[in-house]
Structure 1
Amino acid sequence: MSSIEPGLLARLSRALQRRWWQARPTAATRLLRPLSALYETLAERRRRSTPAESAGLPVVVVGNLIVGGAGKTPTVIALVQALRALGWTPGVISRGHGRAEGGVAEVRRDSRARAVGDEPLLIHLRSGAPVVVGRDRIAAARALCAAHPQVNLLLADDGLQHWRLARDAQVIVFDDRGAGNGLTLPAGPMRQRLPDNVPRRSVVLYNAGAPSTPLPGWCAQRRLAGAVELGDWWAGQPPSLEALAALKGRPVVAVAGIGSPERFFSMLRAQGLSLSPCPVPDHHDYATLPWPPGTTDVVLTEKDAIKLDARRCAGTRVWVVALDFALPGGFVSALSQLLPAPPPPPAFPAFPPASVADP
């Protein structure tokens, strides 16, 4: 009986989560509303009893009001680039979801995803920004500042409900699923209730073609940047649209371990690929390869690639498909207005002209 129960619970959980994303609460989710009310009460009590602490630098928090992924990782990577263009030197702190180790750790190029988290490692590789992970975001911030004194702004990845961290601005990210049925856990997907208005010192970004909630915001511009073989991706080779186009007409297995795999599959189909979808759970560890033996071509996301060694995939061509994610100018401008002016670049010391001895 005990061997059946985990599978049964998993099926019930998946069935419940499918109902979360329906526009209106179903009979099953309405039955859970008392538990949602208890969740909201406890969450609000925790928020009110947690004093906010300053990290010592301006902080921009990026997060969701819903559970799971909605596009935080590409948003953080794009924000690093946008903030640099404004004159900031950003660093990133993150909990490092799914890491096997505790404590605070700096993410390095040779870090393993299971030690620091798949998303922090991808953020570091794609942006080059310093990244430090830790359940205690204040401790992570202090460690990052001590190791990288040139950093003058912090991006907190997935820190919206980390009330202890004081913040100057918040970026609230939604995807095309919006707020689902609008209910909080466990009756719905919301970590917090959807507010009537955009919260103070916040901006809303939609990882979607159009706003998916009543909150005003901006839509990110998304497209596939191309494909590159897994070994070349690890070597730093850029993706190409030509390589992606060359996959047309081939039998391709598409793998995605992200919050909304169907979004990735739809973008591939829009490029003309004929694919067999292979969704895996978010943050899948790839201890075993999920595609059938003998598969010739596999395409997957960068978040999946970060956990795969090309040597494990002998006999299969594994293609990493990258996302080109651009932030609207109006969004960047609105966010910058919530921040202080970036400090001026450090001045080089003035040296007196060298004297020339008389011959």
Structure 2
Amino acid sequence: MIARIWSGESPLWLLLLPLSWLYGLVSGAIRLSYRLGLKKAWRAPVPVVVVGNLTAGGNGKTPVAIWLVEQLQQQGIKVGVVSRGYGGKAAHYPLLLNPHTVPAEAGDEPVLIYQRTGAPVAVSPNRSEAVQALLASNDLQIIITDDGLQHYRLARDVEIVVIDGVRRFGNGWWLPAGPMRERASRLKSVDAVIVNGGVPRAGEIPMQLAPGLAVNLRTGEKRSVSALTNVVAMAGIGHPPRFFATLEQCGVRPVKTVALADHQALAAADVQALATNEQTLVMTEKDAVKCRNFAQDNWWYLPVDAVFDHDSAPRLIQKLVSLTLR
């Protein structure tokens, strides 16, 4: 239903317009207060790069953040990552991740980034505190923030916006009548716009999410996802249909698909009930970090990577590298 409202297919978005105007007024006032100097943003002693979006829902932001971290690491740059930690509730903030940190504490995306990249990661509702915690315990040259485009309390040197190239901005209205956190005109002030799928427009950097080999949660065995049979697909991400479409593109036709809420907590009994022993449960990597401790032998996840084939992507990396040399 929410997808039909945000796309404009359902007239119910008209009933929500007054709340959207209020949302836009408040968010605009917050941003203006920082631009006018009425509120002060904290600036880190190292460059800060924000990877965010203008809309609610999954756009491919975290895979882009992982790609940036890995690209910078390959250049010999010491990178740290901060996040709000949605879906997690830590006993204290800021929280520095370690190999024993679970998604219930830090959120699924920070744990995924930590496991994928090995980079130092800190989470906190106040991202400037997360940055300070990272810098106090690590020798870092640059900070990547996963989300936080609207978190103006933290000053940033580069802003990167990730757009779903198929859905783009829906009906164009602020939440809750539409998917927008800020209006599309905000793109004029950012440093780079990355478009996940669809047809990129002038000045946008095209990107695709490419699936890798399926990985067994219990054994770590890897195999082509098309070799798995009797598949039940589960996705607890911002836009589950994208994951199901990826499986079909890989030649997998699930016998059942289960769409969960983004950042939804997962209990062992609930996940075990989704598939029988004769079936194969395939989930996203973001779901997998929440299921490792109670995984079954027939559970697999399908990792995806941000893939760029446009020459503007290397230029973006070189721009970030140059920031660390100042």
1:216 to 175, 196, 203: 203
CA displacement at 1:29 relative to structure 2: 1.0
**Aligned position for 1:342:** 324
Q: 1:42 to 1:270 in 2, by over 3 A?
A: same
CA displacement at 1:137 relative to structure 2: 0.6
Whether the aligned pair in 2 keeps the contact of 1:67 and 1:190 (CA below 8 Å) is yes
Question: Mapping of 1:236-255 within 5 angstroms?
Answer: 239-241=222-224, 244-247=225-228, 250-255=229-234
Give, in whole Å, the separation in 2 of the partners of 1:41 and 1:142: 31
Give, in whole Å, the separation in 2 of the partners of 1:185 and 1:309: 34
1:51 to 37, 40, 64: 40
CA RMSD of aligned residues (A): 2.1
Q: Residue 12 of structure 2 aligns to which amino acid in structure 1?
A: A
Whether the aligned pair in 2 keeps the contact of 1:88 and 1:343 (CA below 8 Å) is no
Give, in whole Å, the separation in 2 of the partners of 1:339 and 1:26: 46
Aligned residue for 1:277, secondary structure, equals strand
Q: Residue 103 of structure 2 aligns to which amino acid in structure 1?
A: A
Whether the aligned pair in 2 keeps the contact of 1:286 and 1:308 (CA below 8 Å) is yes
Give, in whole Å, the separation in 1 of the partners of 2:5 and 2:262: 17
Deviations 1:154-200 (A, max 9, x none): 001111000011111111011121111111011101000111x7333
Q: 1:48 to 1:341 in 2, by over 3 A?
A: closer
How many residue pairs get aligned? The number is 314
- The answer as to 2:98 corresponding to 1:98 is no
**Aligned position for 1:298:** 281
Give, in whole Å, the separation in 1 of the partners of 2:248 and 2:97: 34
**Aligned position for 1:266:** 245
Tell me the TM-score normalised to structure 2 length. Answer: 0.89
CA displacement at 1:31 relative to structure 2: 2.8
Greater Rg by CA: 1
Whether the aligned pair in 1 keeps the contact of 2:40 and 2:153 (CA below 8 Å) is yes
CA displacement at 1:46 relative to structure 2: 1.6
Whether the aligned pair in 2 keeps the contact of 1:58 and 1:339 (CA below 8 Å) is no
- The answer as to 2:112 corresponding to 1:116 is no
Q: 1:52 to 1:332 in 2, by over 3 A?
A: farther
Question: Mapping of 1:94-173 within 5 angstroms?
Answer: 94-101=83-90, 102-149=92-139, 151-173=140-162
Q: 1:118 to 1:73 in 2, by over 3 A?
A: same
CA displacement at 1:231 relative to structure 2: 1.5
Whether the aligned pair in 1 keeps the contact of 2:5 and 2:12 (CA below 8 Å) is no
Whether the aligned pair in 2 keeps the contact of 1:58 and 1:153 (CA below 8 Å) is yes
Q: 1:206 to 1:20 in 2, by over 3 A?
A: farther
- The answer as to 2:312 corresponding to 1:330 is yes
Whether the aligned pair in 2 keeps the contact of 1:61 and 1:158 (CA below 8 Å) is yes
Give, in whole Å, the separation in 2 of the partners of 1:269 and 1:94: 32
Q: 1:190 to 1:343 in 2, by over 3 A?
A: same
Q: Residue 3 of structure 2 aligns to which amino acid in structure 1?
A: R
Aligned residue for 1:320, secondary structure, equals strand
CA displacement at 1:335 relative to structure 2: 5.5
Q: Percent identity of the aligned residues?
A: 37
CA displacement at 1:341 relative to structure 2: 4.1
Aligned residue for 1:220, secondary structure, equals strand
2:68 to 79, 83, 89: 79
Q: Residue 141 of structure 1 aligns to which amino acid in structure 2?
A: V
Unaligned runs of 5+ in 2: 34-38
Deviations 1:253-277 (A, max 9, x none): 0111011111111111111112021
Q: Residue 160 of structure 2 aligns to which amino acid in structure 1?
A: V
1:284 to 233, 253, 264: 264
Tell me the TM-score normalised to structure 1 length. Answer: 0.81
Whether the aligned pair in 1 keeps the contact of 2:80 and 2:144 (CA below 8 Å) is yes
CA displacement at 1:246 relative to structure 2: 1.6
